[in-house]
């Protein structure tokens, strides 16, 4: 049993969730390694949501509210860490959820589909191979997408996305939003909006602000989006890392 008094309690709870999901076959082989990279960056960030991340989240929610077909792309890691929070956010901004795996196997897709059903979300996309199309007709598993989901979406939120896939998505003309703790990653650099934060903090924060933003004038939301510069915001996120603080 973990003690709540442990200085790294929250981080260890997430680690346990990932280990458990791995044992249950929900994750790709190297998904735990990816989680570890995230842990390191979150550690350097002080495991807190920064102001630049919150700025990016306001823009994200505004974009999703204004979009015709916003889609949230999920994989094993995001599901293991925040399935209920994702479902709640999707409902708050009227977005679809699509299972989109970098290393797609039928077994993992089936397990994830079942998990979303068990959590009260049977309308998950991407669980059926017949529905698969290819973005910009690139015949590459990296470009696969569900026809009524990512393929026809105008805005996609892709938390914890692989760099190769992010590159294909960024060329699609859609609005690409990522949640990635590494501000230097290809995914962060290639997205239109990059939220440098942990998904378990970011998703509930966005659900919380969605109610307010939905009630605001659309011109206000458009203004937020217009004023946002992702490169500047990424630099501000980068400045939040504590790697150069003195060793005490």
Where on the chain is the footprint of a copy of itself (CB under 8 A)? 15, 18-19, 23, 29-30, 32-41, 43-44, 182-184, 189, 231, 234-235, 238-239, 241, 243-244, 246-247
Contact 49, 209 (CB under 8 A): no
Residue 166 burial by Cβ neighbours in a 10 Å radius (0-12, 13-18, 19+)? buried
Judged by beta carbon, residue 44 or residue 209, the one nearer a copy of itself is 44
**Burial (0-12, 13-18, 19+ Cβ within 10 Å), 156:** buried
Q: Is 187 annotated as a binding residue?
A: yes
Task: Report, in Å, the least distance between residue 27 CB and a copy of itself.
Answer: 10
106 is in an annotated binding site: no
At its nearest, how many Å lie between a copy of itself and the CB of residue 50? 14
CB of 246 to a copy of itself, least distance (A): 7
Could you write out the DSSP letters of every residue in 87-118? HHHHHHTT-EEEE--TT--HHHHHHHHHHHHH
Q: Is residue 182 annotated as involved in ligand binding?
A: yes
Nearer to a copy of itself, 85 or 180 (CB): 180
140: alpha, beta or left, given left = phi > 0 and alpha = psi -120 to 50? beta
- Shortest spacing between CB 14 and a copy of itself, in angstroms: 10
Alpha helices in 137-185 (DSSP H): 163-170
For the annotated binding site, the residues are 15, 37, 180-182, 186-187, 198-199
Q: Can you say which residues are annotated as belonging to the binding site for ATP? A: 15, 37, 180-182, 186-187, 198-199
């Amino acid at each position: 049993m973990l003690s709540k008094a442990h200085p790294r309690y929250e981080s260890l709870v997430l680690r346990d969730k990932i280990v458990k999901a791995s044992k249950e076959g929900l994750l790709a082989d190297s998904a735990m390694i990816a989680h570890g990279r995230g842990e390191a960056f979150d550690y350097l960030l002080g495991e807190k949501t920064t102001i630049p991340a919150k700025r990016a989240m306001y823009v994200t929610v505004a974009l999703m509210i204004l979009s015709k077909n916003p889609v949230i792309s999920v994989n094993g890691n995001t599901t293991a860490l925040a399935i209920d929070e994702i479902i709640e956010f999707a409902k708050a901004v009227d977005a679809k959820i699509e299972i989109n795996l970098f290393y797609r196997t039928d077994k993992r897709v089936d397990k994830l589909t079942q998990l979303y059903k068990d959590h009260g979300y049977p309308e998950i996309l991407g669980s059926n191979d017949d529905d698969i199309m290819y973005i910009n007709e690139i015949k590459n598993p990296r470009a696969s997408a569900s026809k009524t989901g990512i393929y026809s979406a105008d805005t996609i939120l892709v938390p914890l996305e692989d760099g190769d896939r992010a590159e294909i998505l960024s060329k699609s003309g859609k609005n690409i939003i990522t949640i990635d703790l590494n501000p230097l990653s290809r995914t962060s650099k290639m997205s239109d909006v990059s939220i440098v934060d942990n998904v378990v903090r970011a998703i509930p924060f966005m659900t919380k602000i969605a109610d307010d933003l939905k009630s605001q004038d659309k011109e206000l939301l458009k203004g937020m989006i217009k004023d946002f510069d992702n490169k500047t915001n990424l630099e501000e996120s980068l400045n939040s890392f504590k790697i150069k603080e003195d060793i005490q």
